[in-house]
């Protein structure tokens, strides 16, 4: 019994400690961010390329098919109420407010987040980070901050691209294949999508970008420097990012509604 | 060197693509804020029934949006709905005997105020009132009238 209590105590103690360490780590990243952005923009650009441009393929393909399936489902189910013309509204609101930011964040965690944390974890396992410290180069500033900033910049842009391609996919499916009127599709959308909806989507994408990037960098930086440890860090990145993004999504939606 | 160049080009393309996607989203998927005039004048009208008219609903004349509803309230004395709306100042020559009716855009669309020009020589201005108004068509009332007519028609 006592052993169990001690276990619970030490686990929760460890959890709180990790959480606190994470906050401090986040603050350190933020503290170094403006200077790196001004002084070494080249490093950040390289990471925007890694996190953003290299994720384009998966984002665009997934966006197209997510939009397409929304078009299919929207059409099939709205047709029961003779409201096929509203399919544009349904697809646009779903993509802009929810699916765009959330699915992009999950894909981003899978494509760019894992790459970040395994890269940083491997740098740690091969003592590159320690070598930097020996040379009086701050690895947080030189390695972590540009990767974090790259993710933060890339994510909202990826969300916008995902959403646009999704709308295009829905247009292809419902207008070209299922004969919804093209005017009705876009006009109903424009009538009911307000600027607030787009603002909500952009806000979410910025929050998710920060969360996904900081978690990937954090997991990589704290990986156990072995082959197994790096693998585990990569897995944890995806799992923790997915959980936090979905919980945050619920909270943001609840607050903004 | 060659590699940095291709990275820069890739990043540039990516950011441009993202920006244009954002631009597309903000301009093409919303039509909400099509009315934005720097100077407006405010007009009021009483309606027997406004249906589901909300503030920010468009005010249109001949189908063109020239203004926006700013406030919907209930007048406890006349027991009618008071609607205040603003009209772009560049349309300052709307006759003051124009009539305002509450219409619906499309079958399931949102409601808006349609102005029909009158023949007066004096024009609407800040604070004036539109006296001729027509209520929104409430579907239940319409069906009710239809049923009553059908019933009385059957008796004869």
| Confidence class for position B49, pLDDT limits 50, 70, 90 | confident
pLDDT at B27: 81
Most A CBs within 10 Å, among B12, B14, B104, to test the A interface: B14
| Confidence class for position B35, pLDDT limits 50, 70, 90 | low
Contact A195 B29 (CB under 8 A): no
Instruction: Indicate whether B82 belongs to any domain.
Output: yes
Strands (E) in chain B, as ranges, are 40-47, 58-61, 64-75, 80-88, 99-104, 111-116, 129-130, 132-134
Same domain, B25 and B77: no
pLDDT at A71: 93
Residues 6+ apart with CB under 8 A from B85: B42, B43, B44, B45, B59, B67, B68, B69, B70, B113
So where are chain A's domains?
31-256
Same domain, B112 and B52: yes
Distance between CA atoms of residues A12 and A18, nearest Å: 10
Q: Which residue of A has its CA nearest to B111?
A: A191
Same domain, B108 and B90: yes
Contact B33 A195 (CB under 8 A): yes
- For residue A82, the chain B residues in CB contact (below 8 A) are none
Same domain, B66 and B13: no
H or E stretch at A101? helix A100-108
| Confidence class for position B33, pLDDT limits 50, 70, 90 | low
Interface of B with A (CB under 8 A): 4, 7-8, 10-11, 13-15, 17-19, 21-22, 24-26, 28-33, 105-106, 108-110
Helices A145-171 and A195-221: angle between axes, nearest 10 degrees: 140
Residue ranges, chain A, pLDDT below 70? none
Distance of CA B144 to the CA centre of its chain: 27
Higher-pLDDT residue of A149 and B28 is A149
Contact B22 A160 (CB under 8 A): yes
Instruction: Indicate whether B84 belongs to any domain.
Output: yes
pLDDT at A202: 93
Instruction: Indicate whether B154 belongs to any domain.
Output: no
A149 to chain B, any CB pair closer than 8 A? The answer is no
Interfacial A residues in 67-126 facing B (CB < 8 Å): 83, 86, 92, 96
Range of the domain at B74: 40-143
Total number of domains in chain B: 2
State whether ipTM is beyond 0.90.
no
- Compute the nearest-CA separation of B113 from chain A (Å): 15
Same domain, B60 and B116: yes
- For residue A198, the chain B residues in CB contact (below 8 A) are 25-26, 29-30
pLDDT at B106: 65
| Confidence class for position B36, pLDDT limits 50, 70, 90 | low
pLDDT at B70: 86
pLDDT at residue B57 is higher than 90: no
SS percent in chain A: helix, strand, coil, step 5 = 90, 0, 10
Distance between CA atoms of residues A159 and B22, nearest Å: 9
Instruction: Indicate whether B148 belongs to any domain.
Output: no
Q: Are B49 and B138 in contact (CB under 8 A)?
A: yes
Contact B18 A48 (CB under 8 A): no
What tens digit of pLDDT does each residue of B83-141 get?
998 888 888 888 888 888 888 876 666 788 888 888 888 888 888 888 888 888 777 88
- Compute the nearest-CA separation of A48 from chain B (Å): 6
- Token pair in block for residue B9: 């080009």
A47 to chain B, any CB pair closer than 8 A? The answer is no
Distance between CA atoms of residues B105 and B73, nearest Å: 22
Same domain, B5 and B78: no
pLDDT at A237: 94
Same domain, B1 and B57: no
- Token pair in block for residue A252: 């943001």
SS percent in chain B: helix, strand, coil, step 5 = 30, 35, 40
> What integer is the mean pLDDT of B26-53?
78
> Model's pTM, two decimal places?
0.76
Helices H, strands E: what count in chain A?
A: 12, 0
pLDDT at B107: 63
The CA-based angle A225-A227-A230, given to 5 degrees, is 65
Q: Which residue has the tokens 């992009």?
A: A104
Contact B29 A56 (CB under 8 A): no
Same domain, B16 and B53: no
**A56 vs B7, B14, B32: nearest CB:** B14
Same domain, B89 and B123: yes
pLDDT at A86: 85
DSSP 8-class letter at B120: -
Q: Which residue of B has its CA nearest to A198?
A: B26
- For residue B28, the chain A residues in CB contact (below 8 A) are 186, 190
């Amino acid at each position: 019994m006592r052993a169990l209590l001690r276990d619970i105590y030490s686990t929760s103690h460890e959890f709180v400690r990790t959480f606190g360490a994470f906050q401090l780590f986040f603050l350190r990243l933020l503290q170094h961010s403006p200077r790196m952005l001004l002084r070494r923009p080249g490093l950040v650009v390289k990471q925007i390329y890694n996190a953003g441009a290299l994720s384009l393929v998966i984002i665009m393909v997934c966006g197209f098919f997510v939009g397409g399936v929304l078009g299919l489902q929207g059409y099939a189910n709205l047709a029961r109420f003779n409201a096929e013309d509203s399919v544009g509204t349904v697809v646009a609101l779903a993509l802009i407010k929810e699916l765009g930011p959330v699915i992009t964040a999950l894909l981003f965690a899978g494509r760019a987040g894992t790459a970040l944390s395994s890269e940083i974890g491997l740098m740690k396992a091969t003592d590159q980070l320690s070598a930097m410290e020996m040379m009086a180069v701050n690895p947080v500033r030189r390695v972590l901050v540009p990767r974090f900033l790259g993710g933060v910049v890339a994510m909202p842009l990826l969300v916008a691209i995902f959403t646009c391609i999704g709308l295009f996919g829905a247009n292809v499916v419902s207008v070209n294949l299922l004969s919804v009127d093209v005017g009705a599709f876009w006009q109903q959308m424009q009538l009911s999508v307000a600027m607030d909806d787009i603002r909500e989507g952009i806000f979410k994408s910025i929050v998710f970008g920060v969360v996904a990037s900081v978690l990937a960098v954090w997991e990589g930086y704290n990986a156990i420097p072995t082959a197994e440890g790096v693998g585990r860090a990569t897995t944890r990145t995806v799992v923790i990012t997915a959980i936090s993004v979905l919980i945050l999504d619920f909270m943001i939606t609840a607050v903004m509604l | 060197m060659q590699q940095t160049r291709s990275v820069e080009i890739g990043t540039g393309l990516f950011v441009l693509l993202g920006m244009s996607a954002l631009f597309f989203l903000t301009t093409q998927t919303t039509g909400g804020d099509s009315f934005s005039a720097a100077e407006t004048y405010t007009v009021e009208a009483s309606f027997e029934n406004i249906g589901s008219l909300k503030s920010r609903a468009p005010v249109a004349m001949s189908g063109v949006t020239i203004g926006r509803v700013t406030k919907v309230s209930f007048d406890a004395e006349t027991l009618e709905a008071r609607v205040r709306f603003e009209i772009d100042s560049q349309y300052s020559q709307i006759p003051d005997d124009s009539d305002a009716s509450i219409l619906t855009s499309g079958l399931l669309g949102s409601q808006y105020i349609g102005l029909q020009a009158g023949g007066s020589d004096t024009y609407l201005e800040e604070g004036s009132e539109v006296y001729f108004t027509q209520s929104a068509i409430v579907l239940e009332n319409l069906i009710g009238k239809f049923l009553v007519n059908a019933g009385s028609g059957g008796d004869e």
